[in-house]
Amino acid sequence: MKELILDILIRGGMILTISKDKDIIEKGDVGIRDGKIVFVNDSKSHHTVSMAKETIDARGSLVMPGLVNTHTHLPMICFRGLADDLPLTEWLTNHIFPAEAAFVNREFCRAGARLAIAEMILSGTTTFCDAYFYPGSIAHAAIESGMRGVVCAGFTDFPAPGNPDPSKNMDIAQAFIDRWQAASPLITPALFCHAPYTCSPATYQDIKEVARRSNTLFMTHLSETQEEVSDIKERYGNTPLLHLHALGILDEHTVAVHCNWLDEEELTIMADYDTKVSHNPESSMKLAAGIASIPEMLAQGITVGLGTDGCASNNDLDLMQEMGAAARLHKVAALDPTVMDAQTVVEMATIGGAKVLGLETIVGCIEPGKKADIILLDLNQPHLTPLYNPYSQVVYAASGSDVSTVIIDGKVIMKDRTIRTMDIAAAMETVRDISRHIADSGGAPRRYP
């Protein structure tokens, strides 16, 4: 028997560990100290706890790893509902790009990120990966909220908010990495080239060079629509994936987002280079962009995580809902109810997402030594009763509003649906003010019956 003094003791819950042994503990305890998990026990405890600064009664709850959202554009929450029911090119070119040019600034990004982080915490996400303008503002918002984030500086070939001179892309990329690489244990800096149709071959190679010499993650939208594939073939004589392959961009530290239009040859190349994938099914469905071949990717050993994309194209950040959408979409696409089973989808939203972001050694499962990024779902509800299989319950019945408690880096960020680290009412009102300014400036289309 070992006596421990804990910061947090989670007691008596059903634990979905997502560990390598895939243990489900019917009734157990989790001990947390100094931000890390120190033990995971069944009800026959092997430890004597002399003191815990905070004890969480998890009876009637499902205890599981925090969710990992592998692709977001957090400040775009300010554009939620601005331009819906449109094809991607029209949505992006005629609505989003002009709105960003007119309204996005540092304060916009910080305010949007705060509200987006609140939405993610409330629905069980404990780690996000974001790509947007003024990334330092997003990193600061995450730190203030106690949220873990991979924050990407984004790049295109045209002037953008916070980066009016694309000729300085490499310097900006390196300065961002240098500023944030050791600034906070919650923040991991990374780099993002928007897409093959907005970034030249030189831009891709320059930003990837910075990523390689800094040993950091590189991300890009890729093969999101058929139109993109046709456009890149016309410009460069290759599909988007083969284009990046020829440029030397693909490796184990590259993450491709969407990947809705890849053929068998391209999947083989991705697997050979260990390039990762962020799957964003709800955004792709809403924009009618396509359906990624996720079952085939998984069969080839490609690492896949789930993402929500931004609130301008989804329109929410609820990764619980995203899990259900991912499972159902691929079943109907394949006309096979056995594909994308619930356990596979939960793993994509936890340890799979952690692997995509290069964080699998610290988050993604509940086991000793990992960072204590843990969520509790309240099972004592009609729509979660009865319970036979916790994986199925999470994917097919649960929603973000079922999350009662969120712990990140060993700190209780939310308890009983109350976030301890921010004033949500104030965050909402700030974004409402931004939306009123956008609407008054003619930025919001009015399509009321």
- Cβ-proximal residues to 95 (8 Å cutoff; 6+ apart), any chain: 82, 83, 86, 445
| Token pair in block for residue 248 | 């030397």
Q: Are 257 and 307 in contact (CB under 8 A)?
A: yes
pLDDT digits (tens, 9 = 90+) for 69-116: 999 999 999 999 999 999 888 988 999 999 999 999 999 999 999 999
The 148-155 sheet, strands edge to edge? 67-72, 125-132, 148-155, 187-193, 218-222, 254-258, 276-279, 304-306
pLDDT digits (tens, 9 = 90+) for 400-435: 999 999 999 999 999 999 999 999 999 999 999 999
Q: Are 411 and 146 in contact (CB under 8 A)?
A: yes
Q: Are 130 and 151 in contact (CB under 8 A)?
A: yes
Residue 321, number of CB atoms within 10 A of its CB: 17
Predicted TM-score of the model (pTM): 0.96
| Token pair in block for residue 362 | 């610290």
pLDDT digits (tens, 9 = 90+) for 241-298: 999 999 999 999 999 999 999 999 999 999 999 999 999 999 999 999 999 999 999 9
Distances, alpha carbon 11 to alpha carbons 8, 52, 61, 91, 283, in Å: 10, 11, 10, 48, 37
- Cβ-proximal residues to 192 (8 Å cutoff; 6+ apart), any chain: 131, 152, 153, 154, 155, 218, 219, 220
C-alpha span between 94 and 104 (Å, rounded): 16
Residue 443: per-residue pLDDT: 63
Q: Are 326 and 284 in contact (CB under 8 A)?
A: no
CA atoms within a 13 Å half-sphere pointing along the CA-CB vector of 119: 27
Domains and CATH numbers, the chain: 2-63+376-416 (2.30.40.10), 67-356 (3.20.20.140)
In terms of Cα–Cα distance, which of 283, 311, 308, 309 is closest to 78?
311
